[in-house]
Amino acid sequence: MAGFAHAQFLLSVASLAQFPPDRGAEVAFAGRSNAGKSTALNAILGRRALARTSKTPGRTRLLNYFALDAERRIVDLPGYGYAKVSERERLGWEPLLARLRERSSLRGLFLIVDSRREVGPLDFALIDWADRVPVHVLLAKSDKLNRSEAARALRSAEATLEASGARPTVQLFSAVSGDGVAAAERVLREWLELLDPKKTPGTSREATGAD
């Protein structure tokens, strides 16, 4: 697959008025702070430093949009579960998240979970938020686990998700070893209707009357 050589930062959204036009297709990335979300995003897009990792302050507190092409976007959500994020700041995100979910261009949510942790209540809050939008969970930093630990982490996440009635798909992922990067990229391309280069996004959701 060709990578996303033209991906570029588009804009940060801090208020409802700042969302880009709701057309084409977009995919959201979310996860606890430090789960490895920015690193995963960069690895999947094949770009070294497009999304800034959490060591860099700034952009991470907003919804950050990246344009892949004229019709396709990634939206990087603020990391959650970080004690220093004020209640006020958190409340500020809620209307933005509510609006994001209403957008007909939203095709899916990647949820990044550190593979050494359980899928937790804050992760489930995002899964509930996603509602009718498909969710794909990346168990990130899998290089930190040995083979049997990784297999156990995957089984455990699958069982936890299934027991809760949630329907996300889940896979192991490591930006360091490359494990699962191609699989994640395939999911992204499928959601963005990029597997068939002649196709333009916009037909499937309209056809189901979801708009």
Side-chain-side CA neighbours of residue 31 (13 Å): 26
For ligand GDP, give the closer residue by CB, 77 or 192: 77
Q: Largest alpha-carbon pair distance within the chain?
A: 48
Q: CA end-to-end span of the chain, whole Å?
A: 31
Cβ 52 to ligand GDP shortest distance, Å: 8
Cβ 117 to ligand GDP shortest distance, Å: 12
For ligand GDP, give the closer residue by CB, 125 or 176: 176
Rounded to whole angstroms, the Cα distance separating 119 from 127 reads 10
For ligand GDP, give the closer residue by CB, 10 or 85: 85
For ligand GDP, give the closer residue by CB, 116 or 152: 116
For ligand GDP, give the closer residue by CB, 145 or 161: 145
Rounded to whole angstroms, the Cα distance separating 86 from 70 reads 35
Helix (H, G, I), strand (E, B) or coil at 89: helix
Residues that bind ligand GDP (CB under 6 A): 31, 33-39, 53-54, 79, 112, 140-141, 143-144, 174-176
Cβ 209 to ligand GDP shortest distance, Å: 35
Cβ 145 to ligand GDP shortest distance, Å: 10
Cβ 31 to ligand GDP shortest distance, Å: 5
Closest CA to 17 of 99, 92, 105: 99
Residue in the structure block whose two tokens are 């992922």? 173
Cβ 171 to ligand GDP shortest distance, Å: 13
Rounded to the nearest 10 degrees, the angle between the axes of helix 181-191 and helix 37-45 is 80
Exposure b/e, 115-126, CB count within 10 A at least 16 = b: beeebeeebeeb
For ligand GDP, give the closer residue by CB, 16 or 122: 122
